[in-house]
Chains A and B, each alone.
Chain A
Amino acid sequence: MPEPIVAVDRITKRFSGHTAVDALSLSVAPGTIYGLLGPNGAGKTTAIRMIMNIIVPDEGTVRLFGAHGTGRDQSARIGFLPEERGLYPKMRVLDVLLFLAETKGVDRRSARIKATEWLERLGLADWRMRKVSDLSKGMQQKVQFISTVLHEPDLLILDEPFSGLDPVNSQVLRDTVVEWGRRGKTIVFSTHIMEHAEKLCDNVCIIARGKKLIDGPLSAVKQTHGGRHVAIAFDGSGGDSAAAAVLADRTLVAKANDYGQYAELELAPGADAQEILRRLVGAGVRLSRFEQVEPTLTKIFIDLVGPDAARAAAVPETAHA
């Protein structure tokens, strides 16, 4: 196994009274798209800030690129998009990009070439001499995204990259992330929107209230929590009451959600899907659909953090250093 790009070892951060991140460990392999998932206030931003060495963990260590030293020492290889976006409102778009590239150690000349390329690509070429404050919020987000990737970092750390973007720009950004991933770059991003994570990530880590609940490759996570769901639909020619009797058997079915067109069954522990099928057919129920389904990430997420999420939301995520 190659050395992880990001190796976080039991980092903990406490803010007056509450623990924002509690002994969190994670490891991001090179070339993966890694989703850091969690409800509001789970400690995602705090964890990312610690990875970036913007705040120092109370306990634990962060290693980037297998090297000692902080994110700042490696800043030329890292692109960071913080949760709270911001640019200099009075500066010209191109100047902001040049300046931010300079702080990453890129010389102005090549920064100018790359910035122009990117601006053209994201449809902002006409705006490069305009003041940032003249741009719409979505355009500013794009400019900020350019500043994150301009120096062609090996590792992208994006905190809630999709928040505040309309569907079109959100798609542009998703495409860019996917393309970046194909080029062998490593991407860590946080989100509380599971659909995004489901589409993009090959690895996920779900945290709630500062603690890790599960992590690993998306397929493995789904497997661990999957295979326990069955979708069924009747062809409508009767036998509903017979079916109801089978579904009411708590040794087989833990929970049944009737969606109208079809019903989703959650198997009871130790139950076999084939047994249900046999019983239904045996009872004379006519089925138009019987399918073992993979749970969506949303489902896993809600199952895992559901009860916790509501409580944790009371704690503001923008933690105080």
Chain B
Amino acid sequence: MRKTFAVIRREFIERVRTRWFWVGTILGPLLMAGLIGLQVLLAGRKAGDRSIAIVDATTTGFGQQLTTQLGSAIARFHVTRIPHAPSTPDSLLGEVEAKHLDGFLLISDSTLEFGTAEYRGSNVSSVADMEQLEGALRRLVFAARLERRGIDTLLVQQAEIRIRLATHKVSGRKLTGESGTQSFLTGFGMAILLFVAILIYGVNVMSSVLEEKTTKIVEVLISSLRPFELMLGKVIGAGAVGIVQLTVWIVSAKLLSGASTRLGPGGAGGFGSPGAAGGFQFPQIPTTTLIIFVLYFLLGYFLYAAIYAAVGAMSSTEAEARQAQVPVQLLLMIPYVSFFGILNDPNGSLAVWMTLIPFWSPIATPVRWGASPIPVVELVASLAILLVTVVVVTWVASRIYRVGILMTGKRPNLKELVRWVRAA
């Protein structure tokens, strides 16, 4: 046990000493902070004023009406009306180029009839501008059409009042105070974190195994340590680094979420207004979710780290190992890419199966939990299956590891692997 501890200690210290550890640990929260800062910045900044001309080719008074209404609908749009003449579009293009105008809208009678209109400008790539313009245009045309049929303006205004659907997640017969968007974000965030963390630390174990093999130091180690002690020490040591790094990330995410709530415009309601920039907010992560997350991270990590240790042991070069680990990575990717499906139907058969299959449950279960509570029976079954698999896979991996670390030359095929596992 003391020897295993020496391995854990070495693995941990040496990894923490690398530049990459610090870059990764600090860069994670910095990226998050940057993201929030950017959002706050975008939200805090008033989107710029725009000068727009309406080239009116209508024969009714609609163009005139639209000009005044559009100006009042979007305050930052300064709208001028120019009667249509064959040469106007060309001369306006010059105005746009000279930056006197941001763009111009071409409307005609068919705008009301068939809903066609054209906008030419330098700001067409601004999603916010175009969404607002199109939205306002749609509403105004809609109202104008109804009015033309003699429907009361007041009635039209009343009919226009939109529904805002507030979503709240229910868990354990009570409101969690979490909105649908937040649930989604929690699930998404967990899927990314789990996938990245398990992959990174698993690959760390692999390269550590490979390093000892290629530098030949493993022969000295094996003369005083049992292979299993060595493998276990590596897995735990690299995992401890992962825990430290994840803790830093999660704590800083928590702190940042508090900071962003204070800084962010409109606080909790920030997500309600689509199209408006900003309002990004870190979801509050309940403790149970955190426990589930950590539990599945640990089990998932042990499962994949053992596999990665075996992959490292059966390879002789870095290139060979990279190639050999592709199937493992793909296996881990399956629950990651299907997180959307899980979130869409957290109690559907896809989600349930993903919760139960041990190679996928480490990512799938926390994601599913983030979206909807999981029946206790399923959760217990998922954990039990995963735990048993971890034990079995670790055993098999240690058998492969034991033989593999002293092997050089050709990578073994499946038949040889089976023989390694069976070897006494």
Contact = CB atoms under 8 A, between A and B. Distances in A.
A268 B10 CA distance: 64
A85 B217 CA distance: 7
Scoring B6, B216, B223, B225 by chain A CB atoms within 10 A of each residue's CB, the highest score goes to: B223
B215 interface: yes
Contact of B220 (A91, A100, A318, A321): A100
Contacts of B408: 318, 320
B217 A87 contact: yes
A52 B215 CA distance: 19
Interface in B388-422: 403, 406-409
B223 A71 contact: yes
B320 interface: no
A105 B408 CA distance: 29
Interface in B116-149: none
B323 interface: no
A102 B6 CA distance: 6
A176 B292 CA distance: 58
A89 B3 CA distance: 21
A147 interface: yes
A103 interface: yes
Contacts of B218: 86
**Most chain A Cβ neighbours within 10 Å, of B10, B216, B218:** B10
Contact of B223 (A54, A90, A95): A54
Nearest to B229: A103
Contact of B406 (A55, A87, A90): A55
A104 interface: yes
Interface stretch (A76-84, A179-187, A283-291): A76-84
A34 B408 CA distance: 29
A91 B208 CA distance: 13
A239 B117 CA distance: 128
Given A320-B408, A321-B407, A87 B215 contact: yes
B211 interface: yes
Nearest to A102: B6
Interface string A296-321: 00000000000000000000001011
B162 interface: no
B224 interface: yes
Interface residues of A, number: 31
Contacts of B322: none
Interface string B224-243: 11100000000000000000
Contact of A72 (B223, B403, B406, B407): B223
Given A86-B215, A321-B403, A52 B223 contact: yes
Q: For this complex, into which size category does the number of interface residues on chain B fall? A: 20 to 34
Given A82-B216, A318-B408, A321-B403, A88 B211 contact: yes
A54 B406 contact: yes
Given A78-B223, A86-B215, A318-B408, A105 B3 contact: yes
Contacts of B212: 88
Contacts of B97: none
Given A321-B406, A321-B407, A104 B224 contact: yes
B221 interface: yes
Interface in A101-130: 102-105
B378 interface: no
A207 B220 CA distance: 24
B217 A72 contact: no
Contacts of A90: 14
A52 B406 CA distance: 13
Give the interface SS of chain B, mostly helix, strand, loop or mixed: helix
A82 B408 CA distance: 15
A110 to B, nearest CB: 14
A86 B216 CA distance: 5
Contacts of B409: 320
Interface in B181-200: none
Nearest to B208: A88
A95 B224 CA distance: 17
A45 B9 CA distance: 31
Contacts of A88: 14, 211-212, 215, 217
B105 interface: no
B219 interface: yes
A99 interface: yes
Given A86-B215, A99-B6, A105-B2, A72 B220 contact: no
A82 B403 contact: no
A72 B215 contact: no
Interface in A168-219: none
B298 interface: no
Given A54-B406, A91-B14, A320-B407, A85 B216 contact: yes
Most buried by A among B14, B216, B224: B224
B222 interface: yes
A86 B224 contact: no
A75 interface: yes
A88 B223 CA distance: 16
B220 A86 contact: yes
Given A72-B223, A88-B215, 14 more contacts: A75-B224, A80-B223, A84-B219, A85-B216, A86-B217, A88-B211, A95-B14, A99-B10, A102-B3, A102-B9, A103-B3, A103-B224, A147-B220, A321-B406
Interface of A: 49, 52-55, 71-72, 75-76, 78, 80, 82, 84-91, 95, 99-100, 102-105, 147, 318, 320-321
10 contacts: A54-B406, A55-B406, A71-B223, A80-B220, A82-B216, A87-B217, A88-B14, A105-B3, A321-B406, A321-B407
In order of increasing CB-CB distance, the 6 nearest A-B pairs are A86-B216, A75-B224, A102-B6, A86-B215, A84-B216, A86-B217
